[in-house]
Structure 1
């Protein structure tokens, strides 16, 4: 499937939403096809989300990618959940030790971590 215009995009979005809400397994292949076409169109139009520029944003991205809850991420990083919460809210900056754990435990490239604020 190829989306060539805004109207095609809107039709694809509507169909995707309808099929997703139906929640039927037999629609899965069509949902994947629509998802890929919608994603391709959005990327071609420059709708790709900006990469996180903060430690909090990068941690939130990891939570989303791996479907982790805040408590689970705190366990992985070996820190109290309250400390992670403060980092995610921007009240605290991560220690050097935590940044190292982000690299080793979450496999975030060191060059990315060095560019974060």
Structure 2
């Protein structure tokens, strides 16, 4: 089904399974894996960095024949479940409203951060 999707949104462990690789240990290896998956599927891939370490939660949008785009938000100081589902749903809603893929990802990331941080 993934080649028929406009975008797929794997986290780092999912990306490793989908590419048959070890879990990415840094942004460069996550981008390489995401680019590989994007080429293989011929669709956009949003590599979600929630499982990474650091003060920022960094996601990468990778699309065939486009430069990688980095989306960042401060990392919240607790473990959470369901954030990827919330993010992908928010992206889908924005795409349905006619927004570009880049703007959909940007708005969805901000929305999820605002909801989870109590800013919304």
Give the structure-2-normalised TM-score: 0.26
TM-score, L = length of structure 1: 0.26
Higher share in strand: 2
Which structure has the highest helix share of the two? 1
Where relative contact order (Cα < 8 A, 6+ residues apart) is larger, the structure is 1
